[in-house]
Amino acid sequence: MSALSRFVAPLAVCAFVGAASEAPASGELTLQEAVKYALEHSPELKSDRVEVTRREGLLTAARSSRRPQLDLAADAARSRFEHGYPAGTPPALLRFDQTTYSAAAELKFLAWDFHKTEMEIAAARERVLAASSAAERKQQEVIFETARLFLLCLTYTDLIRATEARIQSLQALLDRTNQLVAAGRAVPVDALKVRTRLAQMESDLATLKSAQRSSLSALAAVMGYEGDLPALRYSPAAPPPSEPKPGEATLLASAVSSRPEIRSLDHEIQAAELGLSAVRRSAWPRIDLRAAAIQYGSNTPVGFPQLIAGMLPSIPIHTPLAGNAATDWILGAHVSFRVFDGGRRKGQEQEAAAKLEQLRLARRQLALRIAREVRVALADLESAQSRVRALMDSVAESERVLHDERLKFEAGRSVINFVLEAESALLTSQSLLSQAQRSVAIAELTLDLTRGQLQAARFAAGP
């Protein structure tokens, strides 16, 4: 093997492995794989997770207020007159120069603010939990939308196959009718009627294929999949263990307590209450502790004794040389109390109280909407199950009628209209049955979604 081959081969393997992790490995896509891919690549879900990260950053920033703050600073200045340093010290320590330097390290620490900062931190923590619950709900919605569109695409696939089968059946009927016309046992208009119905079926087939492509595009968008989706394959999930069906009142109570949006709003309400309390505490005093170390220096310092000797040369004064540097340190406490702020705190309190009331009203409205969604989902599920039972009987009856009408037509005891009507009735029944069967699956998913209990584990493959 050449050196180039030894270099390229590992890169090819890595590229293949990376591609396999980005897209389904097989040529077919199951519902389980579609849900898993959507949870990893859905742009909407990623956006909500980024929001959680953003709020965690805000929480970290809020916590910093309770921790020591250390600042380093340096300064260099040249003035017209000689300035003394360190300021406020006895004359024996003062030095004077036009060019001065300073370096400082300052430590600040919040000692007490009547729990205002603690409330702000707790409010930020509640907002993180609210964003996490919102992301959990978005995950459930992505799972549901992926499954719904997947089943919708499969429904179109079933309808397309049924339509193609009916087209083949009509084509065979047209061939048989042409034979009967040639034998004088049918009139030419019978063949024309079959061709007309065949053209209508081909038009319906084109419409179904267009709708299928649209559904596949929507599915790819929800999944965050780029390019054309592989062929869809439905592998039923493991049937859940049979449990007694709870009553409507139990379902309503369970839905309100289980929905992540409710938990998200509860956390937002708690954060708003803490925020309102923090605004009210801002009217109370604040105590900060402070410690600082400052290093002063200059190029050609003049001490206070030297300065006096220059001003009074006739007086003998001992003038030791002043050093270039001087160090000072400070320890203290800072108490601040805002007496008047022009109505700022009052406005903040009013805004926080209004926001809290809005959140409480939103929670009440959400609870009512959840109750309505659960009732609608239950009704849809019962309706879909009833349609499936009725349509299964209808399909069996339509197959029997079509079989009898064909035999009668070939025997010359019926007309082509009855055969075409039986064909149409069978296709309609099969299409409605396929839609009803998918509707049952979608209605079950909708009920789980409204109850806040739709998880990816629901789509685990069966044995």
* Per-residue pLDDT tens digits for 274-300: 999 999 999 999 999 999 999 999 888
Quick one: 133 exposed, middle or buried, by C-beta within 10 A (0-12, 13-18, 19+)? buried
Task: Name the packing angle between helices 116-182 and 188-223 (round to 10°).
Answer: 160
Q: Is residue 166 scored above 60 in pLDDT? A: yes
Beta-bridge partner residues of 73? 104
170 confidence band (pLDDT: 50, 70, 90): confident
Q: Is residue 14 scored above 50 in pLDDT? A: no
pLDDT value at position 10? 38
Place of tokens 């009553």: 247
pLDDT value at position 4? 34
17 confidence band (pLDDT: 50, 70, 90): very low
- H/E stretch holding 28: strand 28-30
Q: Are 119 and 274 in contact (CB under 8 A)?
A: yes
> Phi and psi for 238 in degrees, rounded to 5?
-60, 130
Q: Using CA atoms, how far apart are residues 271 and 121, in angstroms rounded to an integer?
A: 9
50 confidence band (pLDDT: 50, 70, 90): very high
Q: What is the DSSP letter of 87?
A: T
Closest CA to 146 of 214, 238, 212, 216: 216
Tell me the average pLDDT of the chain.
84
Count of beta carbons in the 10 Å neighbourhood of residue 93: 15
The set of residues, in sequence order, having a beta carbon less than 8 Å from that of 17 and lying 6+ positions away, is: none
Q: Using CA atoms, how far apart are residues 254 and 248, in angstroms rounded to an integer?
A: 10
> What are the angstrom distances between the C-alpha of 243 and each of 50, 206, 240?
38, 43, 9
Count of beta carbons in the 10 Å neighbourhood of residue 291: 15
Whether the bond between 239 and the residue before it is cis, its omega within 30 degrees of 0, is no
Place of tokens 């048989």: 176
CB crowding 251-262: b at 16 or more within 10 Å, else e: bbeebbeebbbb
- For 69-219, strand residue ranges (E) read 69-85, 95-112
The pTM score is 0.77
Q: Is residue 119 scored above 50 in pLDDT? A: yes
Closest CA to 424 of 64, 116, 229, 173: 173
Q: Using CA atoms, how far apart are residues 31 and 455, in angstroms rounded to an integer?
A: 13
* DSSP state string for 279-345: HHHTTS-EEEEEEEEEEEEESS-EEHHHHHHHH-TTS----PPPPSEEEEEEEEEEEE--S--TTHH
Q: Is residue 304 scored above 90 in pLDDT? A: no
Place of tokens 């002043």: 322
* Per-residue pLDDT tens digits for 332-389: 999 999 888 889 999 999 999 999 999 999 999 999 999 999 999 999 999 989 888 8
Q: Using CA atoms, how far apart are residues 377 and 354, in angstroms rounded to an integer?
A: 34
> Which residue type does 290 have?
R
> Which is more confident, 92 or 127?
127
Closest CA to 256 of 372, 392, 358, 86: 372
Vertex 34 angle, CA 28 and 40, to 5°:
130
Domains, the chain, with CATH or none: 27-67+114-285+341-455 (1.20.1600.10), 69-112+286-336 (no CATH)
Q: Is residue 18 scored above 60 in pLDDT? A: no
Q: Is residue 207 scored above 90 in pLDDT? A: yes
> Which residue type does 12 have?
A
Task: Name the packing angle between helices 344-410 and 116-182 (round to 10°).
Answer: 20
> Which is more confident, 355 or 16?
355
Count of beta carbons in the 10 Å neighbourhood of residue 22: 11
pLDDT value at position 245? 67
Read off the pLDDT of each residue in 146-158 and give the average, rounded to a whole number: 90
248 confidence band (pLDDT: 50, 70, 90): confident
Per-range mean pLDDT, top range of 2-6, 15-19, 296-300, 454-458: 296-300
Count of beta carbons in the 10 Å neighbourhood of residue 170: 23
Task: Name the packing angle between helices 416-451 and 116-182 (round to 10°).
Answer: 170
Q: Using CA atoms, how far apart are residues 390 and 293, in angstroms rounded to an integer?
A: 88
pLDDT value at position 250? 84
